[in-house]
Amino acid sequence: MLVSIITPTYNSSGFLRETFESIINQSYTNWELIVTDDCSSDNTWQLLKEFAEKDSRISVFRLNNNLGPGYARNHSIAKAKGKYLAFCDSDDLWNVNKLEKQISFMSMNNLLLTYSDYDEISESSGLIRSVISPSNLTYKRMINNDYVGFLTLIYNCEKIGKIFMPEMRRRQDYAYKLILFKHVKVASKTPGNLAQYRVRRNSISSNKFKLLKYNYKIYSDIEGFNTFKATYFMIRFIIFYFLKKIK
């Protein structure tokens, strides 16, 4: 069962080699890695070509303009051929048995959408904290807060269909998860801590308060909520976020 791994890159040369090695070393070998570079200005593109030359499972593409990670991911999704779609950003890491455990768990339990626990790590790969996700999740719960690390998510593209991501500049991953969760009654957590999410200094994703305006945009523009309902869910998101942090 082929797994298509979707990876966007932008000026990622400092972390790219470690990320790719974590994918290449997977115990599950039936995968394709589809990378779309979002017009990097460093030597990311040169590194991508080196990896693609060494491993035929890796396909790399380059956008002519910087359009954002949502657009880059969609470019890769359009070219994906796998039964399953998985996501790994260019500075994140997967445990060596991540795909093997998750695909086996999905196959044995006939699941369409799964995720796992993961660690947050620093730029120097030091452990910040472990993130524990709920055992099962539905759209109604996900709309209140984002409980799933995007780097752990895998879905059955063959049964759900190939879903494309909203091309907003920020929080497109959360918007995408909400769209996916509408296609399943419930998603389940694969046992084990299977990945490491790198927290970058000064990145907008590292400052949750800066992301709030993008969350509101998801509720209003993507979910189509009116002003009252979008504000209501924004307040709930903040409450559930802090409840999650203190657990």
Rg for the chain (alpha carbons), in Å?
17
CA distance 235 to 216: 10
pLDDT score for 206: 47
pLDDT of 242 strictly over 80: no
Higher pLDDT, 244 or 95: 95
Please state, rounded to an integer, the average pLDDT across all residues of the chain.
93
What are the tens digits of pLDDT across the range 138-168? 999 999 999 999 999 999 999 999 999 998 8
Phi, psi of 236 (to 5 degrees): -65, -40
- Assigned token pair, 177: 């998860």
| Residues 101 and 191 sit within 8 Å (Cβ to Cβ) | yes
pLDDT of 93 strictly over 90: yes
CATH architecture of 3-203: Alpha-Beta Complex (3.90)
Best CA proximity match to 95, nearest among 194, 15, 170 = 194
Among the residue ranges 85-99, 114-128, 228-242, the one predicted with the least confidence is: 228-242
- Provide mean pLDDT across the span 29-40: 97
Q: How many helices (H) and strands (E) does the chain have?
A: 9, 10
Higher pLDDT, 202 or 95: 95
